[in-house]
A and B are shown apart, each in its own frame.
Chain A
Amino acid sequence: MTRLGLALLLASLGTGAFAETRYLPWPEDGAAPRPYIFTQQHNVENRPDAEGRVQLIRKGYPLQVQLPGNPAIWSFRAEESENVAYRGRTMVYSPNRIAGTESLLVFDLELSPEVRDGDEGRITFTTDQLPSALERVVPGGVFVLRFTVIDPG
C-alpha cells in the first residue's frame, strides 16, 4: 500500500478529528492568548473545495473574523450562529489590497462561556453587497465557519 493510500485508510477509520490526534495542552507562559483569526479563505459555506475541513478551537482563546469590505458591510447573524458571543467590530483602513474593497472589517468574538469539550458551533456573517472579487470564495455573501470545541486542559 502506498503512503497516501495508508493515510487515506487511516483517515477513513476515524470519526473526524478526535480519532486521530491527542491534544497536548499549550504552555501557559504568561503571553496573552492571541486570537484564532478567520478570513474569507476560511469560509466553508457553498465551497465544495472546503468539504472535510475541520476547525477545532481550544477553550480560552479569543476569536476574530476579518472580512474585506467598504462599501460592503458584513453583519453577524446571531440566529445562524451557535456557541459564540459577538463582542464588537472595528473597520481597518486597507485600500488597494482586494478589488472593490477599501477596508477590513474586524469582528471580535468569543466562545460562549458554557461550551464544553466536544460541543459544535458555527459563526455566520452575511453581506448584501458582495464584491465580485469575493464571489467564489464567499458565494452569495454568506460566510460560515463551523467548529468543534476542544479543551485539552
Chain B
Amino acid sequence: MVLGAETLAVSRALAMPGEPLRTLPELRSENGRVRTQLIVQNARFRVGDRTLHMPAYRFEHMAEGSLPGPTLRVKPGDRVDWDLANLITPTGIPDGATPAQQAMFDQLDYTNVHVHGLQVSPGENHDNVYQVLRPFCAPERYTYDIPGPDTGRPQPSGMFWYHPHKHGSTSHQAWQGLSGAIIVEGEIDAVPEIRDLRERVIILNGLLVNPAGEVPRAAMVPNSGFSPFSPIPSQPTDMLLTMNGQLRPTIDIRPGELQRWRVLNAAPHRFFWLNLDDHDFYQIGQDGIPFASPRPVKRILMAPGNRAEFLVRGGDPGSYALHADIYEQGHPGGARPGWIIGSVEVGGAPRQDPMPTRLVAPPEMPDLPIANRREIRFKGEISGNDPAGDQDASGDGALVPVKFYLDGKVFALNRIDQKVLGGTVEEWTLINEDVFQHPFHIHVNPFQVVAINGQPTNDDTWWDVIALPSKGALTIRIYFRPDVSGKTVYHCHILPHEDNGMMANLFIYPPGTDMANPPPVPDTPMPSGSGPCTI
C-alpha cells in the first residue's frame, strides 16, 4: 500500500433501488489467526441515484473500499491482528469556510477502531478507544485475543461489529457509514436446523449527506424533519437509510424457506423498528449472544449499536415491504418517520425447512452476591443556551450547541468515574431524565436487565446496548469477567450525544485488588499533534 495516495473508486456494489441485497466482502480467520490491515480511505459510492464521497473501510487484500465495511469471521480463541491505516482526506467542507475554520474540524478525520461487544482487553494496542490516529500517520496495531473455551467463559457466537470510536468524531464517521460486522462462529452454528440456512449479514446505516454527497464537516444541531441534523454553518442535508450500502434492496427467499438474518444498526442516531409485512421474525440472538430457543416476534426495535439475529420464513409468493416503522425516540419535532428500507421477494420452488425448537445454552449470570450498586444519571441539553463545561457550568463563555451529561458531567479523559473489581457482579440503575431514549452501552462486558422502573423483568436476555425508557430507569446486572481488566468507557450510543459529553471512564481492577485502597490509575496521555501527518 502506498501511503499518501488517495485512490477513488466507484464501488461495484449494486446500489440502485430494487437491486438484490449485496453480500459484503468477508475475511475469515485461518488456523486461529487473522492478520491484515484495516484501511480507511476516501472512495466514491453510487447509492440510489446519488454519488457519495466518503471514507470507507477495506482490508489489505481488497482493491477498493466497501460501504459499509467488510465482514470479519472468527471463532472463540482466535487472535486478530490488524493495523489501522488512516488515509482520510477532508470532505463536507462548508461553503466559505476559511482555512482556520476548516482546521477547527481537523479532528473529524482522526480515528481509531472499537470492536463492539468483543470481551477483549481494552489496553494499549488492544480495544483501546483512547488511541488517536491522525490521517497519514503511521498505521497503529490492534490485537484482540477473543476468549476461547480455555477461559471458561468463551466469547458467545453471534454478530459483533467494529467502528470508529474517537471521542468527538464518532458520529461524523458513523454518518459516513464506517462500520463493519464481526461474526463469531460457534456452538449455535452447529444447530442442525440452522447450520445450512442461507445467511444474510445486513448492516443498516444512516448516512447524513449534503447535496455533494458528503457528510458536513461542522458542528451539528438537532432539528425537526426527515434529515434530523443541521450543521453550523448550515448546509442542506439528506438522510439515506441503507441496507449494506443500498437503497431499498430486495432479498429473495423461497416459500417455506428459513433464512438466517444477522442485522446490525450501525446508524449513529436512528432507531430501526423492523417490521416485514405479513411475516414474523424468530429471534435467536441479541447483541451477539444466542438464546436457548427461538422467540417469535412481529417487530424488533433496534437502538443504535444493537444487533438482532433472527430467522425469517418465506410466506406466500409475492413482494413484501421491509419497514423501519415510525418511532418516537425523543428527537425534537416528534417521531422519526417510517421508511421502507427494502423488500422481500418470495418465489421459486416451495420448501419446508424445519424451525429449530432448541438452540444453545446461553451464558449464565454467575451466582454471586451483588458487590456494588450504583446510579448513573443521563441528561441532555439541546437549547444551545449553556456555556462549555459540566451541567453546573456558568459564566459568559462561548455557548455550546448541545451538551450531554452523565451524572452532570461531560466526558473527561482522565477522570475515573467508576472503579469496579473483576470477577464481581454489580447492579447499576440507569436513570433517564430526558425524553431522548439514550441507548446505554458499556465496553467489554454485556449485561442483563433486572428491573424497569424498579419492577422486576424476569428476563435473561443479554445486551450490550439498551435504550433507556423516557423519563424512566433501568436496573442492569453486570458480571465483570475476571480475566479482562483496564480502563474503558460506558456511554450513550446515540453517537452525537457521546461526542458531546455523554461518556465516562470505567476502570476494571483485576481480582484480588484491595478496593478500599485501590492503586491509582495512571493518566491516559493526551493526544499530541494536530492535522494530518506528512510523509
Contacts and interface: CB of A to CB of B under 8 A. Distances in A.
Interface of A: 3-4, 6-8, 10-11, 14, 16-18, 20-21, 23-24, 26-27, 29-31, 33-42, 47, 49, 53-56, 58, 61, 64, 66, 68, 92-99, 104, 106, 133-137, 148, 150
Interface stretch (B150-158, B222-230, B277-285, B312-320): B222-230
Contact of B383 (A14, A33, A93, A98): A98
A39 B384 contact: yes
Contact of A3 (B213, B334, B435, B531): B531
B96 interface: yes
Given A26-B211, A137-B385, A104 B530 contact: no
A31 B50 contact: yes
A21 B234 contact: no
Nearest to B96: A17
B107 to A, nearest CB: 13
A24 B260 CA distance: 45
Main SS class of interface, B: loop
B224 A150 contact: no
Nearest to B93: A21
B49 interface: yes
Contacts of B332: 66, 94, 97-98, 104
B248 to A, nearest CB: 15
Contacts of A47: 399
Given A26-B212, A27-B213, A37 B234 contact: yes
Interface in B198-239: 210-213, 221-225, 227, 230, 232-238
A85 B247 CA distance: 35
B95 to A, nearest CB: 4
B370 interface: no
Contacts of B225: 35, 37, 64, 106
27 contacts: A4-B100, A4-B103, A6-B99, A7-B102, A10-B98, A20-B99, A23-B95, A34-B237, A35-B236, A36-B235, A39-B223, A40-B383, A40-B384, A41-B399, A47-B399, A54-B97, A55-B96, A66-B223, A66-B224, A66-B333, A92-B224, A97-B382, A98-B332, A104-B224, A106-B224, A134-B385, A137-B383
A148 B471 CA distance: 43
**Range for the number of chain B residues in contact with chain A:** 35 or more
A99 B383 contact: yes
Contacts of A36: 230, 234-236
Interface string B458-487: 000000000000010000000000000000
A29 B98 contact: no
A49 B100 contact: no
A29 B235 CA distance: 17
Interface in B310-357: 330, 332-334
Contacts of B385: 133-137
B233 A136 contact: no
Given A30-B49, A94-B333, A99-B383, A42 B234 contact: yes
B17 to A, nearest CB: 12
B398 interface: yes
Contact of A93 (B49, B237, B334, B402): B334
Contacts of A7: 98-100, 102-103
Nearest to B397: A49
A58 B95 contact: yes
A35 B236 CA distance: 5
A8 B100 contact: yes
Contacts of A136: 385-386, 399
B510 interface: no
B89 interface: no
A8 B225 CA distance: 36
B401 interface: yes
B11 interface: no
B398 A133 contact: no
Nearest to B211: A26
B51 interface: yes
A33 B97 contact: no
**Across chains A and B, which 8 residue pairs bring their CB atoms closest together, nearest first?**
A17-B96, A26-B211, A41-B384, A49-B398, A34-B236, A11-B98, A56-B95, A7-B100
B224 A11 contact: no
Contacts of A11: 98-101
B423 to A, nearest CB: 41
Given A8-B100, A17-B95, A137-B385, A33 B399 contact: no
B215 to A, nearest CB: 14
